[in-house]
């Protein structure tokens, strides 16, 4: 049986989490006598420190990257351009049969563009998400990526409907959500691993988890308002754990100097996936501007306050587990109080999430569909 060469392009922490179940499914397909895949991982280096990168590859037992471009931070134009140039060289060297990109980052867009310009088939995992806010860089990345890719793996029925409205129905497959695969796989180990709860002294306490990382959240206008909202919200809990993204830490130093928050707020470095899942699973509530964290919280049945004006994960709102609060203190506190009194029980929320996102089979569906995206009878990588 012909080996299918798969190049997986990732660059940011949420993509490492999404990659893990697909990587396991690729290995399982060959072991079970199905299509033999040769997997290579290209890391753009968009997230480059150990807390945001290397630690995740080890913890998630991912194949270490065949190539790390080491692009690092920079403006959107600079970062994407460097990625495009680097990915193109790798594609010409490795000559994969199919390229897989994930999510909505600059790495996603660069991987898709570099591949389609060279004629290689590209699949987009987590296709079809739309927030409706074109000021978000992620929204532009999603739309552009979906319109150039050959195979669109939609995580939800709403995503399928979005792609159909944009004329992309023939490229679209509903597969469920790989994050559901990752959470259901990872939470088992997380529940057995109690060190993080013990580290922060959280056993028996009602606590929240809060994160901020988006560019729109770390401006001179938004950041002070969000920090004030978190300080006020922390008074509703015994503790609030705040893992600080490097961008947020730098923005706090720039706009707030030495921030001395409410004593209930515990600031820490970014956490590994298992540690974060353990906290999300045990938390009373999550406050975040992260799309991935909203969904992980929903899958674990933990109510979430979204610190943005919109969400891609409308299912979590419809199910009663998520409130869109924006950045104002009054609105955030109102959302916290409403969820405290009205959110469905955790088990009910988790069951509703499973109904929306699937029960852990998305990666297997993706892997089964990949060979169908290849172009039979062509030599893409032959001489021009």
Token pair of 46 as six digits: 């968009």
Q: Do both 105 and 190 map to the same domain?
A: no
Q: Is residue 383 part of a domain?
A: no
Q: Do both 145 and 188 map to the same domain?
A: no
Q: Is residue 283 part of a domain?
A: yes
Q: Is residue 382 part of a domain?
A: no
pLDDT, tens digit (0-9, with 9 covering 90-100), for 244-266: 988 899 999 998 877 888 899 99
Q: Do both 241 and 291 map to the same domain?
A: yes
Q: Is residue 151 part of a domain?
A: yes
Confidence (pLDDT) at 384: 39
Q: Do both 102 and 237 map to the same domain?
A: no
Angle between helices 137-148 and 106-117 (to 10 degrees): 20
Q: Is residue 384 part of a domain?
A: no
Q: How far is CA 250 from CA 53, 218, 223, 278, 294, in A?
A: 18, 9, 11, 27, 24
Q: Do both 295 and 322 map to the same domain?
A: yes
pLDDT, tens digit (0-9, with 9 covering 90-100), for 357-383: 988 999 999 999 999 877 555 456 643
Q: Do both 196 and 280 map to the same domain?
A: yes
Q: Is residue 379 part of a domain?
A: no
Q: Name the phi and psi angles at 238, rounded to 5.
A: -75, -30
Confidence (pLDDT) at 379: 54
CA-based end-to-end distance of the chain: 28
Whichever domain contains 144, its CATH number is 3.40.50.2000
Token pair of 196 as six digits: 């993080």
Rounded to the nearest angstrom, the gap between the alpha carbon of residue 170 and the centroid of all alpha carbons in its chain is 25
Q: Is residue 19 part of a domain?
A: yes
Q: Do both 163 and 277 map to the same domain?
A: no
| Radius of gyration of the CA atoms of the chain, in A | 20
Q: Do both 222 and 331 map to the same domain?
A: yes
Q: Do both 167 and 233 map to the same domain?
A: no
Residues 349, 319: contact at Cβ < 8 Å?
yes
The pTM of this model reads 0.86
What is the total count of domains within the chain? 2
Burial 329-345 (b: 16+ CB within 10 A, else e): bebbbebbeebeeebbe
CB atoms within 10 A of CB 360: 18
SS3 197: helix
* From 43, 47, 213, 245, active-site residue: 213
Quote the domain boundaries for residue 302: 183-357
Q: Do both 204 and 278 map to the same domain?
A: yes
Q: Do both 369 and 324 map to the same domain?
A: no
Q: Do both 66 and 130 map to the same domain?
A: yes
Q: Is residue 145 part of a domain?
A: yes
Walk along the chain (384 residues) and give the pLDDT tens digit of each residue. 689 999 999 998 889 999 999 999 999 998 888 889 999 999 999 765 555 566 777 788 888 899 999 988 788 889 999 999 999 999 999 999 999 999 999 999 999 999 999 999 999 999 999 999 999 999 999 999 999 999 999 999 999 999 999 999 999 999 999 999 999 999 998 888 778 999 999 999 999 999 999 989 999 999 999 999 999 999 999 999 999 988 899 999 998 877 888 899 999 999 988 899 999 999 999 999 998 899 999 999 999 999 999 998 999 999 999 999 999 999 999 999 999 999 999 999 999 999 999 889 999 999 999 998 775 554 566 433
- Based on the residue annotation, tell me whether 185 is a catalytic residue of this protein: no
């Amino acid at each position: 049986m012909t080996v299918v060469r798969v190049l997986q392009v990732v660059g940011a922490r949420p993509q490492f989490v999404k990659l893990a179940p697909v990587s396991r499914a690729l290995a399982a397909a060959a072991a079970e006598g199905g299509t033999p895949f040769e997997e290579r991982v290209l890391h753009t280096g968009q997230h480059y420190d150990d807390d945001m990168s290397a630690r995740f590859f080890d913890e998630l037992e991912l194949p270490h990257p065949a190539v790390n471009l080491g692009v690092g931070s920079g403006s959107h134009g600079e970062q994407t351009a460097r990625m495009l140039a680097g990915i193109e060289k790798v594609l010409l060297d490795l000559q994969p049969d199919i390229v897989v990109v994930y999510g909505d980052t600059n790495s996603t867009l660069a991987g898709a563009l570099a591949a389609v310009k060279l004629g290689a088939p590209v699949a987009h995992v987590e296709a079809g998400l739309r927030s409706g806010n074109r000021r978000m860089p992620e929204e532009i990345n999603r739309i552009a990526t979906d319109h150039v890719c050959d195979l669109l793996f939609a995580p939800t029925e709403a995503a399928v409907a979005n792609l159909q409205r944009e004329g992309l129905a023939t490229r679209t497959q509903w597969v469920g959500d790989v994050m559901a695969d990752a959470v259901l796989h990872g939470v088992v180990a997380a529940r057995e691993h109690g060190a993080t709860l013990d580290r922060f002294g959280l056993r028996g306490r009602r606590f929240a988890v809060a994160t901020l990382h988006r560019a729109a959240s770390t401006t001179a206008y938004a950041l002070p308002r969000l920090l004030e909202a978190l300080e006020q919200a922390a008074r509703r809990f015994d503790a609030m754990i705040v893992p600080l993204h490097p961008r947020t830490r730098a923005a706090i130093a720039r706009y707030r100097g030495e921030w001395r928050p409410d004593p209930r707020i515990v600031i820490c470095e970014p956490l590994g996936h298992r540690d974060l899942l353990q906290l999300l699973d045990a938390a009373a509530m999550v406050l975040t501007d992260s799309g991935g964290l909203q969904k992980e919280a929903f899958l674990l049945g933990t109510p979430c306050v979204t610190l943005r004006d919109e969400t891609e994960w409308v299912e979590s709102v419809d199910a009663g587990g998520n409130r869109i609060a924006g950045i104002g203190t009054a609105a955030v506190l109102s959302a916290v109080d409403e969820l405290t009194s009205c959110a469905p029980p955790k088990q009910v929320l988790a069951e509703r999430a499973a109904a929306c996102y699937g029960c852990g089979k998305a990666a297997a569906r993706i892997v089964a569909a990949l060979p169908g995206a290849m172009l039979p009878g062509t030599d893409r990588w032959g001489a021009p």
